[in-house]
């Protein structure tokens, strides 16, 4: 009897060692409406989606908040099970992590100072690029480690060589870049569309150039080869897209332009 109990507890320890009751998630909670902190709580589209995933998996969601440029690495090194962080699928990231199916389409956009004549009456992506290239010694603020930074500096993935005559300056988050622009340290900010809408709505003195510069897809990251988790996540994403829960979450956080 004692021996049997001994073996049972060993099995129990081994079992609990590999099957955790927690789902750990890496994010950078400085990216409203996808992830941000409000009233001391994590909120946003990604947070709500992650809560559903955790509950479907019967696990407790544990969120690790970090700088955005550590998010992918933390899943790659298995310090977190998943990452939801408005994370755009790209080739470089695919080398170190696996992506789920996509759950949101995004694009980089320009935030400018209100009434900046250099960026008036633009209609197409080409117009925006021309206007940026035409301006002299333009300073562009971006969030460090993001596709916005890669785009601004020039990125093969977008087939875009980067802006001419412009300097790209990286910030820890979009809000800091907007503040720097309002303090005349920057001319424009490039960031993902939905965060750009939030930032232009919550800051006076800035406006959005409502033209998509890139074509991006957000997805959830899991560590390489973790097919079991990836399949389950894709199944949950499929379900919540079909039953309307995904759209409800997006609507809940959707921000109209000012």
Q: Is 24 in the site for ligand ARG (CB under 6 A)?
A: no
Report the site for ligand ARG in 43-72 (rule: CB under 6 A). Answer: 68
Q: Say whether residue 98 binds ligand ARG (CB under 6 A).
A: no
Q: Which stretch binds ligand ARG (CB under 6 A): 47-55, 80-88, 179-187, 231-239?
A: 80-88
Asked if 85 touches ligand ARG (CB under 6 A), the answer is: yes
Tell whether residue 146 is a contact of ligand ARG (CB under 6 A): yes
Q: Among residues 87 and 110, whose Cβ is nearest to ligand ARG? A: 87
74 in contact with ligand ARG (CB under 6 A): no
Three-state SS string across the chain, please? CHHHHHHHHHHHHHHHHHCCCEEEEEECCEECCCEEEECCEEECHHHHHHHHHHHHCCCEEEEEECCHHHHHHHHHCCCCCEECCCCECCHHHHCCEEEEEEEEEECEEEEEECCCHHHCCCCCHHHHHHHHHHCCCEEEEEECCCHHHHHHHCEHHHCECCCCCEEEEEECCHHHHHHHHHCCCCCEEEEEHHHHHHHHHHCCCEEEECCCCCCEEEEEEEECCCHHHHHHHHHHHHHHHHCCHHHHHHHHHCCCCC
* Closer residue to ligand ARG, CB minimum distance, 165 or 202: 202
Interface with ligand ARG (CB under 6 A), residue from 192, 206, 236, 253:
192
**Residue numbers at the binding site for ligand ARG (CB under 6 A):** 27-28, 30-31, 35, 68, 85-88, 106, 143, 146-147, 192
């Amino acid at each position: 009897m004692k021996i049997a109990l001994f073996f049972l507890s060993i099995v129990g320890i081994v079992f609990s060692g590999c099957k955790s009751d927690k789902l750990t998630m890496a994010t950078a909670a400085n990216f409203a409406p996808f992830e941000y902190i409000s009233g001391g709580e994590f909120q946003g589209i990604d947070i709500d989606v992650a809560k559903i995933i955790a509950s479907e998996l019967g696990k407790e969601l544990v969120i690790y908040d970090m700088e955005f440029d550590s998010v992918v690495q933390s899943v790659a090194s298995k310090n977190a099970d998943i990452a939801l962080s408005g994370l755009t699928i790209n080739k470089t990231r695919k080398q170190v992590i696996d992506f789920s199916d996509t759950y949101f389409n995004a694009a980089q956009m320009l935030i400018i100072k209100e009434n900046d004549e250099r960026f008036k009456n633009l209609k197409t992506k080409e117009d925006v690029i021309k206007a940026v290239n035409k301006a002299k010694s333009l300073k562009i603020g971006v969030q460090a480690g993001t596709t916005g930074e890669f785009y601004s500096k020039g990125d093969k993935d977008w087939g875009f060589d980067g802006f001419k005559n412009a300097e790209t300056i990286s910030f820890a988050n979009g809000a800091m870049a907007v503040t720097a622009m309002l303090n005349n340290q920057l001319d424009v900010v490039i960031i993902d569309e939905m965060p750009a809408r939030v930032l232009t709505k919550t800051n006076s003195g800035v406006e959005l150039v409502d033209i998509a510069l890139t074509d991006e897809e957000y997805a959830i990251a899991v560590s390489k080869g973790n097919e079991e988790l990836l399949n389950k996540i894709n199944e949950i994403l499929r379900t919540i897209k079909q039953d309307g829960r995904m759209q409800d979450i997006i609507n809940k956080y959707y921000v109209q332009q000012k």
